[in-house]
Chain A
Amino acid sequence: MNYLKRLIRGVFLEFLYGLTLFALALSFFKSREKTLQSLKAALKSLLKILPSFTLMLIVVSVMLFVVSDEMISRYLGGEHLLQSGLLGSIFGSITIMPGFVAFPLSALLVEKGVSYTAIAAFTTTLMLVGLMTLPVEAEYFGWKLSLTRNLTSYIICLLIALVIGVFYGELVL
């Protein structure tokens, strides 16, 4: 598992670094001035978003401590499909967890008897809905648009969970 994680992550990170290095070299070769200009722009936008990021990191670090794996396991393993699905979507919306942590955890939960419906609600909201990243998102797209996108995304995630539930025979229509 760790090997797979390192492999996939490594390949994509190398791609990112390679691409950046290549683009920088090309840019430098064509115009030093423009290269310097883009580096300045990069630094500026990085500094601009840094406060929001710090805020997010602080909240997330505390949130990850409060919402433990055992807690997720306890609430997602409930008897009622609808309830565990909804709880899964709420946990997914308020936590930030890299997929490299979330999917192994999900596999573990499935083994423990947690429904695929709840897992789908959890993993999709984890990826698509971000209450914690909302301040960062709003920095770029404004609060109104960001809230609308997250709300719509939440509904989409519930729909996905429903379909997964039907496909896995957990939800009988």
Chain B
Amino acid sequence: MTEKKRLIYFLTVPYGVFLAFSWQFDFTPGKIIGNNFFDFLLSMAAILPVSFVLIGLFEVWINRQTVEKHFGHASGYRGYLWAIILSGTTVGGAYVAFPVGHALYKKGARLSIVLTYIGSAALTRIPMTIFEASFLGFKFALIRLGISLPLVILSSIFIGGIFDHRKS
């Protein structure tokens, strides 16, 4: 952890200085990089804190049995279905899906179901798919969706089988 902190420190400080100088002396590449940084920061600032509040509420209020029943080893195929439905409504990107998936896992969700959630949060989010279809066509979006979903579920089961040590 300390090594990582040192790395972040050694990167953040020169980076900040670089951005400040770029602004001061009108250095275009530096300004573009700075814009990228703040663009991303703003869009994450709109989503991340709220998501963590929801996760916090989830951790305190939802009891383990409920999660185990719907997302655990005994949930069967319905667990995967729930994971996909949940992922369809996930706002943001992978950076929201990771903490949400982790919270589910900690409460007793099956790893393969958590991985299905993460994978389909990346590939089948509703707003994203609408956008995809409107720019690349329905055919493209439909084929893409139709192949990716089973592949994500299959690979999640496969990886879950290797890494999940909490067998029922």
Interface set of A (CB-CB < 8 Å, partner B): 4-5, 8-9, 11-13, 15-17, 19-20, 23-24, 27, 34-35, 37-43, 45-46, 49, 51, 53-55, 57-58, 60-62, 64-65, 96, 98-100, 103-104, 106-107, 110, 116, 119-120, 123-124, 127-128, 130, 133, 136-137, 139-141, 144-145, 148-149, 152-153, 156, 159-160, 163-164, 167
Contact = CB atoms under 8 A, between A and B. Distances in A.
A23 B57 contact: yes
B63 interface: no
Nearest to A133: B94
B163 A148 contact: yes
Contact of B12 (A11, A13, A24, A58): A58
B136 A106 contact: yes
B135 to A, nearest CB: 4
Interface of chain A, main secondary structure: helix
Interface of B: 4-5, 7-8, 11-12, 15, 29, 32-34, 36-37, 40-41, 43-44, 46-57, 59-61, 89, 91, 93-95, 98-99, 101-102, 115, 118-119, 122-123, 126-128, 130-132, 134-136, 139-140, 143-144, 147-148, 151-152, 155, 158-159, 162-163
Given A103-B132, A156-B152, A167-B143, A38 B98 contact: no
Given A24-B57, A34-B60, A65-B33, A106 B135 contact: yes
A31 B12 CA distance: 40
B115 to A, nearest CB: 6
Contact of A127 (B98, B122, B139): B122
Contact of A124 (B54, B57, B93, B144): B144
Interface of chain B, main secondary structure: helix
A24 B57 CA distance: 8
Contacts of A139: 98
A8 B131 contact: yes
